[in-house]
Amino acid sequence: MTRALYVGCPMWAQRQWVGRFLPVDTPAGRELHAYSRLLNAVEGNTTFYAAPTPSTVAKWREQALPGFRFVFKVPKHITHERRLRGTATELHAFCTLMEPLGDLVGGFTFQLPASFGPSDLGALEWALRQCSSAWRWSVEVRHPAFFAATDRTTLDAMLQRHGAERVLLDTESLFSHPPITDEGRAEWEQKPRVPALHEPLGDHPIVRFIGTDDPEVTALGLERWQPIVAQWVRDGRTPTFFAHTPDNSGTPALALDFHAAVARLVDSLTPLPEPPPMLAQEQGSLF
């Protein structure tokens, strides 16, 4: 039985990772090639801000290792500016743009603004009806009402009707103590203070864990997720787990360690790819 866990970061092109997590000779614009040989998933945050060109999508296809997974955010023009209303044409165009990536697409996420509340559920259900069943879909909500009994139940039932996952956003570590860096203070202002949910709706749960600028607190928060995700895998689910911190300088290590910790709890977990040597040129010169 194949047991898989996808882990990754909020981006792949972080230049401060070069020489630390990515090979020292990784050129700008080729970070995805190296990243996809270190971790097996990434959040496609870039599509939230602007649709890529077809040539960019082709470049992603060329660089990503087979078996890698992108989880792309639906453009904010659809989720935040139009608030999902009347966006069937835009949704179809977005999916068509991403079609060349094929099975590299792990899914698409509607990340909704905190002002998108229970009165907007009709728009969400309409949008989910427009979604092609050829792709996996997930929804991240931030309105506090969706974390309370009645509205949470209503939302979850809707998502299950359409086969969509509810993104399990965990900001509890972030807000567990005051920030000590400028990046941490910025995260405090940008991220929602909502309870962390741990119950998946379907077979492909997605967790977005937001750590803090205190490494010890972040580590404790990640430890709490390890047995939960391990049980999902044992139950036959295929989770995707994304690790964030305010500056994201060390998130590849957090993702790698998380996968290793779950592997210790789950028999026969599919291993991560074998990363390229950090000093590829120097090692090659020895032979």
Question: pLDDT tens digit string along 243-257?
Answer: 999 999 999 999 999
127 vs 89: CA distance, rounded Å: 11
Contact 111, 48 (CB under 8 A): yes
Judge whether 286 lies within some domain. no
Whether pLDDT at 283 is above 50:
no
Kindly give the residue spans of alpha helices, DSSP state H, lying in the chain: 31-35, 46-49, 54-63, 76, 88-98, 121-130, 149-161, 182-190, 215-234, 251-265, 280-284
- The residue whose two tokens read 């179809």 is 92
- Tell whether 216 is covered by a domain: yes
Long-range contacts, 276-281 (Cβ 8 Å, 24+): 276/23, 276/34, 276/37, 277/23, 278/19, 278/22, 278/23, 278/24, 279/23, 279/24, 280/23, 280/24, 280/25, 281/24, 281/25
Task: Note the pLDDT tens digit of each residue in 33-90.
Answer: 999 999 999 999 999 999 999 999 999 999 999 999 999 999 999 999 999 999 999 9
Which whole number is the average pLDDT over 22-32? Answer: 95
Whether this prediction's pTM lies above 0.85 is answered by yes
CA atoms within 13 A on the CB side of 221: 28
Domain presence at residue 97: yes
Confidence of residue 280 (pLDDT cuts 50, 70, 90): low
57 within domain boundaries: yes
- The 10s digit of each residue's pLDDT in 138-149 is 999 999 999 999
- Please tell me the predicted confidence (pLDDT) of residue 156: 98
| Residue 281 clears pLDDT 80, i.e. is over it | no
Domain count, the chain: 1
In the predicted structure, residue 277 carries a pLDDT above the cut 90: no
Mean pLDDT of the chain: 94
- Which token pair is 181? 């860096």
Cα gap 100→94, rounded to integer Å: 12
Tell me the per-residue pLDDT of 130-140, one tens digit each, with 9 for 90 and over. Answer: 999 999 999 99
Residue 220 covered by a domain: yes
Can you name the residues that pair with 241 across neighbouring β-strands?
A: 7, 207
Would 232 be classed as within a structural domain?
yes
Q: Is the pLDDT of residue 284 over 60?
A: no
- Mean pLDDT, rounded, for 213-237: 97
Percent of the chain with pLDDT over 70: 97
Task: Please choose, from the candidates 274, 275, 271, 225, the residue with its C-alpha nearest in 3D space to the C-alpha of residue 3.
Answer: 271
In the structure encoding, which two tokens stand for residue 170, read together? 């965990």
C-alpha to C-alpha distance for 218 and 57, rounded to whole angstroms = 33
Can you give the pLDDT at residue 275? 85
pLDDT at 287: 29
User: Quick one: what percent of the chain has pLDDT higher than 90?
Assistant: 93
**pLDDT value at residue 263:** 97
pLDDT value of position 276: 80
Residues spanned by the domain of 237: 6-275
Q: For the domain that residue 37 is a member of, what is the CATH number?
A: 3.20.20.410
Instruction: Specify if 263 maps to a domain.
Output: yes
pLDDT of residue 2: 77
Condensed to tens digits (0 to 9), the pLDDT of residues 152-199 reads 999 999 999 999 999 999 999 999 989 999 999 999 999 999 999 999
Query: How buried is residue 271: exposed, middle or buried, by Cβ count under 10 Å (0-12/13-18/19+)?
Result: exposed
Q: Print the SS3 string covering 257-273.
A: HHHHHHHHHCCCECCCC
Does residue 125 lie within any of the structural domains?
Answer: yes
What's the pLDDT band for 282 if we cut at 50, 70, 90? very low
